[in-house]
Structure 1
């Protein structure tokens, strides 16, 4: 009986020993796995054992930073675009300023010349001043000034530059470009300056000299000193102002000359009568 109990106790102890051995083996395996994991993390840069949450946080922060960078890049491109637009506007304003300054200088010179034009009532001086204005302000190289002789219905040259006056000796009102301008009182400008070839009956520019609606003469231009592809607005303005001032000055000087001539004639009769 006692032997049977002793065998049972031995078997029980053996079973308990096996259980303890299995648990020791399992614990040993877990230690080896943990040691291997720690060594792997050490090789990766000594990262903390539990970095799942940190990595996720880093990824989220990187995404936020990338979005901010993208937004800043977009804003930078928009600012650069606006800076470019402002630079282009400033360049355009600078060019317009130069043009306006040039136009103002031309108009100021015309004002000074017109003052000189109206400062005399001598017909020859008036024609000389008009000629200088056409050369220096308009920049014409070949031109002529013609006045209308209403008795015969033809234009007569009173001044010219760079042309043969014989070709404009018999310009009748209402015929050709010059005659039509004298008849209608409307200015004529050639459309294509680059392909224009000078012809006496087909000028580059023909401006009527008018007192109200009455044409007293024309200015014809065949060639400019400066090569142009087209006329600018300031050119038309200069032509118009010149025509108005020139017509007034010519008309006034003619009236003065006629009155002086008549006065001389009357004075001559008086002198004869008093003698």
Structure 2
């Protein structure tokens, strides 16, 4: 799923580049055609002048005027097509800049993902995830909650902009956050309204952290940075990619930490027995 999302972003960039090139080529063709018609109009006007000054027949002058009128109409249509293509080209150029921005963010996510998987220290993993959410997503207030499978409760293990103690234990299936943890489906609020107060059970976004279909926690976002009024299309894809990488890194680091603790305990028992 993650590879598919990544390929989609790159394929869209290639598609827009091809469309933009086609639009530019078509614009050049229109400009050439416009020059041809302008030259033809000049020729016909010169013919009309010669006919008028040389006493040409009324019929010949009328036919020439008709040709000029048809050419002028054709030029007008060509001008309208040119304006339409120019507008499309500007739109493609804007979309290309957006795609460039998306690709830059995706590249940053790759770098961040590498950092995520380069350590098995649980605290370091959480810190890297927080930096990704702040720098790539643009969140100001959020929490990372992990599932305690013994109690079926979500516990805040890392936060930004709010204390961990301000986020209560949340039962699976209860409220927005609990429902996301149960269903494994992303939650996005329909309309982001101006932030007034912190409500720990009412995030604007909640993303499940999943290992395949097994949910191990969630990321709950409550407030965006001031310069980011809303989410972009890229953000939704980044959320999905981030959730997959973050879940794997958290799971691996927790497993490693637990193994280390068990190994230390066993080593302690061995030391006691061999004294």
Which TM-score applies when normalising by structure 1?
Answer: 0.76
Q: Which residue of 2 aligns with 1:117?
A: 116
Distance of 1:204 and 1:74 partners within structure 2 = 55
Distance of 2:57 and 2:162 partners within structure 1 = 89
Q: Is the 8 A contact 1:196 1:204 kept in 2?
A: no
Q: Is the 8 A contact 1:144 1:219 kept in 2?
A: yes
Q: Which residue of 2 aligns with 1:129?
A: 128
SS at match of 1:191: coil
Distance of 2:105 and 2:273 partners within structure 1 = 55
| C-alpha deviation, 1:196, in angstroms | 7.0
Q: Write the deviation string for residues 39-75 of structure 1: whole angstroms up to 9, x where unpaired.
A: xxxxxxxxxxxxxxx97x5211220121011011011
Q: Which residue of 1 aligns with 2:229?
A: 228
Distance of 1:175 and 1:140 partners within structure 2 = 24
Spell out the pairing of 1:92-107 with structure 2 (5 A cutoff): 92-107=91-106
Q: Which residue of 1 aligns with 2:210?
A: 210
Q: Which residue of 1 aligns with 2:240?
A: 240
Q: Which residue of 2 aligns with 1:81?
A: 80
Q: CA RMSD in A?
A: 1.7
Q: Write the deviation string for residues 154-179 of structure 1: whole angstroms up to 9, x where unpaired.
A: 11111111124333122111110001
Which TM-score applies when normalising by structure 2?
Answer: 0.76
Long gaps (5+) in structure 2: 1-53
SS at match of 2:119: coil
**Structure 1 runs of 4+ off > 6 angstroms?**
none
Q: Is the 8 A contact 2:146 2:216 kept in 1?
A: yes
Greater RCO, 1 or 2 (C-alpha within 8 Å, sep 6+): 2
| C-alpha deviation, 1:233, in angstroms | 2.4
Spell out the pairing of 1:184-203 with structure 2 (5 A cutoff): 184-194=183-193, 199-203=199-203
Q: Which residue of 1 aligns with 2:271?
A: 271
| C-alpha deviation, 1:151, in angstroms | 1.4
| C-alpha deviation, 1:130, in angstroms | 0.4
SS at match of 2:66: helix
Q: Write the deviation string for residues 101-155 of structure 1: whole angstroms up to 9, x where unpaired.
A: 0000000000000000100000000000001001111110010111111112211
Farther off after superposition, 115-124 or 59-68: 59-68
Distance of 2:268 and 2:162 partners within structure 1 = 41
Distance of 1:244 and 1:156 partners within structure 2 = 19
Distance of 1:245 and 1:170 partners within structure 2 = 24
Q: Highest Rg: 1 or 2?
A: 1
Long gaps (5+) in structure 1: 1-53
Q: Is the 8 A contact 1:194 1:228 kept in 2?
A: no
Alignment coverage as a number of residue pairs: 220
SS at match of 1:193: coil
| C-alpha deviation, 1:86, in angstroms | 1.8
